[in-house]
Amino acid sequence: MRIAELLAHGERNVEVTAKGWVRTKRGNKNVAFIALNDGSTIHNIQVVAETAAFDETLLKNITTGACLKVTGLLVDSPASGQPVEIQARTIEIYGLADPESYPLQKKGHTLEFLREIAHLRPRTNTFGAVFRIRHAMAYAIHKYFNDRGFYYWNSPLITASDAEGAGAMFRVTTLAPGETDFNEDFFGRPTNLTVSGQLEGELAAMALGQIYTFGPTFRAENSNTPRHLAEFWMVEPEMAFYEIEDNMNLAEDFIKYLVNYALEHCADDLAFLEKMYDAELTERLRFVTANDFVRLTYTEGVKILEEARDTKGVKFEFPVFWGADLAAEHERYLVEQHFRRPVIMTDYPKEIKAFYMKQNEDGRTVRGMDVLFPKIGEIIGGSEREADYDKLVARMDEMGVPTETMQWYLDTRRFGSAPHSGFGLGFERLVLFVTGMTNIRDVIPFPRTPKNAEF
Amino acid sequence: MRIAELLAHGERNVEVTAKGWVRTKRGNKNVAFIALNDGSTIHNIQVVAETAAFDETLLKNITTGACLKVTGLLVDSPASGQPVEIQARTIEIYGLADPESYPLQKKGHTLEFLREIAHLRPRTNTFGAVFRIRHAMAYAIHKYFNDRGFYYWNSPLITASDAEGAGAMFRVTTLAPGETDFNEDFFGRPTNLTVSGQLEGELAAMALGQIYTFGPTFRAENSNTPRHLAEFWMVEPEMAFYEIEDNMNLAEDFIKYLVNYALEHCADDLAFLEKMYDAELTERLRFVTANDFVRLTYTEGVKILEEARDTKGVKFEFPVFWGADLAAEHERYLVEQHFRRPVIMTDYPKEIKAFYMKQNEDGRTVRGMDVLFPKIGEIIGGSEREADYDKLVARMDEMGVPTETMQWYLDTRRFGSAPHSGFGLGFERLVLFVTGMTNIRDVIPFPRTPKNAEF
């Protein structure tokens, strides 16, 4: 039985076995108290060992980080804060952890230090909590879509197309360094790691109706910020017959479901993170689930920002004007200062959005849709897609997107086109929001950033 | 309401809306019968349109592949094989599909032809069924592990390590073709696409207890076979405190659960595939769930094969002897001819297995474990891992695996080591088995193979 189960509903006064890693050992010459953790919960189980009953060397070797198998009676614990403890009958040491060299000896390591030992940090309370929540969010994503008749769709990672021109790409090759003949390359042409699975997702939506991707995505951008990774996970649902209003409704319902799921399934881990890092964490999560998101157009948003600047003396670093690509400071002003709740902004100038977004009749804006969150900024970006073949081709030509190599994509508009929509959720940004962590490198097991591909 | 729901429990004699793609249209001068499909099920809904009630051009434009929105009364269908039909009141054409150019005009395209139009093949019955089943299997994998306290773990895709030396790798780079200075590369060193998430998975298991990866994996091998892809999806659970027996139990339970899940949730799609491609499909699936897998050692397996060769006159293309890496023909003989059920083979010669497998006391074999399936051959490969630091390092030295760059991996054995095990399931091989398809390119949306990276 794992420790989470022993703590939650282990039968009293029967012999149990617990296996896990030592978090702390304390005690006196008569008794040792060993806090054991197996990763199934943030909580440790206390093992009580009468020193007289055990070999001295064995007890000495029980140090922080050592791995043990313990058998003994599960009894009500007299100590506060723990329902049960184990009166040890036998203790076997699976693996030692030399106190001189084990890096997780003392408490209170900085997150920066733990990043350098990313291979060991899941053994800490913080990263145990973060990665359990990350799991819960991934599962909730699959459950949400499965329960609603969406199909999981695996867009290719290696691609010969540039998707949406969303960012700089990594080249994938089997050519030896210095070789340049792509005819000799594995795929007989230059190939890259995908920046988005959307275009292939659209193909699927126009056949299966409702699909979602959820997989790794790549950007070869030289951004050393707490918000960017070169390799990150993205969720991209795509739905036939959804117009932008349906798309907004889905995005809001989806993200509220996920946050609710965390509140319901990760209470212990959230309580720990709240105590250690972010006193307003669960309050912020509850607020998101309890309130309607504000919906407004880009044009309305710019007006609010201009007024704030002109009449309230709000200072922005970057200029605000109709046509500007809003910066994080602008988004956060709207979300955190003006509306004080999440915002769904729509109908952006076509110049700052991708070629595939549905063109509005005003000729100036497209049916893009961004969901803006407190602390995080943009957590979801999406749009209704341009379903009209001629309009789409015209826009691609205007923007210099090659139509010859995109015939497969255009075929969705050539044969049985339909209104359809979709969006992308940056999975790590979601996990950042739900855990209250502030650096994206702390919510993915092994972050990939410029000059950093350890482990 | 989607068509699957209308067919399953749509209320009779109320007006409904259906949206989908035309599969066929037939009829006479008084009435048109339109078979509409929206991807939610293998079944179409029949739309009955009185020709007198609709514009002639509109009816003419309703051709195979066109996308429609239909409203009308849902009524019991007089036709056999369908519970309901829609008496059309309005029909709107979302998108045309020109009969002269739409490639899915006629039925009975070959799978080879459909592979060339992989962007449209999800619109066929066959690939609709395959990809719905693929989804169901992915969801079942997440559900199985989540329900049992495993955490989803995302090993990195871009890696500077060579994992297990499992195969040739793709290089990931931002260097321009011809440039060779890795100091200038994105990560400041050569990096590759992962061939397995196992090693990073072990790190997580030694902290969170039970984890699984499920993501894309890459092999740059020039293998043009119906069983190999350059980009495929792999499931890799890894469990602390599991010995090989526990590992075998988990693998057998897991795969039976998945096959059962398909039988329970994908009956219509399986029935279609059985009718069209593989008359024994569900029988084979039921057989797997109903029978214990045979468990035997490699040594016992070789003895059976040698006897078959020597006393029964069975002819093998490749030689059989203790120490040989068994070929597919050998595995299939054991599974299909000798035992007639799935086989879990264990304790392989160390020379033919990876460095991380637990070494047996005989000094010759390791605790590897392969699950062998009818038609598929190896569907799962795994092992108990070597938990002893010194033995592991000795084996790495023998096999020329660099220990200097693998200190992060060795730290799991240096600090709090424990018995642990894991395995890898090739997701597409599972989908092959469950769908009865015979070419792995037909169970992944966009296959990546030598000289082929279309879409």
Q: Does some domain include residue A71? A: yes
**Are residues B101 and B158 both part of a single domain?**
no
CATH number, domain containing residue A218: 3.30.930.10
CATH number of the domain encompassing residue B89: 2.40.50.140
Beta-sheet pairing, B365-373 with B377-384: antiparallel
Q: Is B116's Cβ below 8 Å from some Cβ in A?
A: no
Residue B310 lies in a domain: yes
Task: Give the count of Cβ contacts less than 8 A between chain A and B.
Answer: 323
Our CA angle for A124, A445, A156, nearest 5°, is 160
For B163, name the nearest residue in chain A, comparing CA atoms only: A455
pLDDT band at residue B268 under the 50/70/90 scheme: very high
| B235 occurs within a structural domain | yes
Which of B55, B83, B106 terminates a domain? The answer is B106
Encoded tokens for A143: 């459950």
Token digits of residue A274: 């709240």
Instruction: Kindly state whether residues A101 and A176 are assigned to the same domain.
Output: no
pLDDT tens per residue, range B92-108: 999 999 999 999 986 67
- Same domain flag for B95 and B168: no
B126 and B102 share one domain: no
Contacts of A97 in chain B (CB under 8 A): 414-416
> Are B387 and A94 a contacting pair at CB < 8 A?
yes
Distance (Å, whole) CA A171 – CA B172: 6
- Would you state the structure tokens that stand for residue A182, as one six-digit string? 């792509």
What is the DSSP secondary structure assignment for residue A440, as one 8-state letter? G
If asked whether residues A405 and A381 sit together in one domain, one would say yes
Gap from B387 CA to chain A (nearest CA, Å): 9
Interchain pair A172, B171: CB under 8 A: yes
Instruction: Indicate whether A166 pLDDT > 80.
Output: no
Angstroms from B152 CA to nearest CA on chain A: 5
- The beta strands (E) that lie in A28-105 are given as 31-37, 45-50, 67-76, 84-95
**Partner-chain contact B94 A417, CB within 8 Å:** yes
Q: Are residues A154 and A47 in the same domain?
A: no
Given B55, B72, B106, which residue is the final one in a domain? B106
Q: Report the C-alpha gap between A251 and A288 in whole angstroms.
A: 13
Q: Using H for helix, E for strand and C for coil, what is the string for B327-347?
A: CHHHHHHHHHHHCCCCEEEEE
Residue A28 has pLDDT above 70, yes or no: yes
Residue A275 lies in a domain: yes
Q: Do A216 and B413 touch (CB under 8 A)?
A: no
Mutate: best of A119, A134, A144, A443, partner B, most B CBs <10 A: A119
Enclosing domain of residue B46 = 3-106
- Selecting from A172, A203, A451 the residue whose C-beta is nearest the C-beta of B119 gives A203
Whether A99 and A139 map to the same domain: the answer is no
Residue B116, domain member (yes or no): no
Q: Last residue of a domain, which of B75, B106, B137?
A: B106
State whether A240 and B38 contact (CB < 8 Å): yes
B231 vs A161: CB contact, 8 Å cut-off? no
pLDDT band at A163 (very low <50, low <70, confident <90, very high): low
Identity of the residue in B168, B173, B412 whose CB atom sits nearest the CB atom of A171: B173
Residue A74 falls inside a structural domain:
yes
Per-residue model confidence as pLDDT tens digits over A344-367: 999 999 999 999 999 999 999 999
Q: Which of A21-30, A153-162, B244-253 has the lowest mean pLDDT?
A: A153-162
Question: Shortest CB distance from A453 goes to which of B128, B171, B187?
Answer: B187
How far apart are the CA of B319 and the nearest CA of chain A, in angstroms? 32
Task: Read off the pLDDT of residues B161-183 as tens digits, 9 standing for 90 and up.
Answer: 765 566 799 999 999 998 999 99
Q: Is the same domain home to B136 and B266?
A: yes
**A260: how many CB neighbours lie within 10 A of its CB?**
16
Could you give the number of structural domains in chain A?
A: 2
Contact present, A162 and A192 (Cβ < 8 Å): yes
What SS3 state is found at B25?
strand
Residues B27 and B153 in one domain: no
Counts of helices then strands in chain A (DSSP H, E): 13, 16
Query: Are A255 and A293 found together in one domain?
Result: yes
In a mutagenesis test of the A interface, which of B157, B191, B236 is the best target, namely the one with the most A β-carbons within 10 Å? B157
Task: Give the Cα separation of A350 and A367 in Å (integer).
Answer: 9
Enter the tokens of residue A340: 């004080």
* Largest distance between two CA atoms of chain A: 85
Residue (of A34, A6, A27, A9) closest to A18 by Cα position: A6
Cα separation, B358 vs A398, in Å, equals 61
Contact of A91 with A58, CB cutoff 8 Å: yes
CA dist., res. B123 & res. B102, Å (int): 12
Q: Please name the amino acid found at residue A261.
A: Y
Interface of A with B in 332-391 (CB under 8 A): 387
Q: Judging by DSSP bridges, how do beta strands B15-27 and A15-27 pair with one another?
A: unpaired
Considering the domain boundaries, does residue A136 fall inside one? yes
Chain B: give the shortest CA distance to residue A225, in Å. Answer: 15
Do A250 and A369 reside in the same domain of the chain?
yes
Q: Coil, helix or strand for A192? A: strand
**Neighbouring C-beta atoms of residue B57, cutoff 10 Å:** 8
Alpha carbon distances (Å) from A175 to A161, B179, B447? 19, 12, 21
Q: What is the pLDDT of residues A388-424, one digit of tens each?
A: 999 999 999 999 998 998 999 999 999 999 999 999 9
Nearest CA in chain A to B64: A416
- Residue B448 forms part of a structural domain: no
Q: Which of residues 84-103 of B touch A (CB under 8 A)?
A: 94-98, 101-102
Residue of B nearest to A139 (CA): B142
This model's pTM is above 0.90:
yes
- Using 50, 70 and 90 to split pLDDT, how confident is the model at A162? low
The pair phi, psi for residue B223, each rounded to 5°, is -110, 105
φ/ψ (deg, to 5) at A72: 165, 180
Q: Strands A210-218 and A151-152: what pairing?
A: parallel
Task: Name the phi and psi angles at B213, rounded to 5.
Answer: -100, 155
Residues B58 and B137 in one domain: no
Query: Which candidate, B150, B59, B46, places its Cα nearest to that of B96?
Result: B59
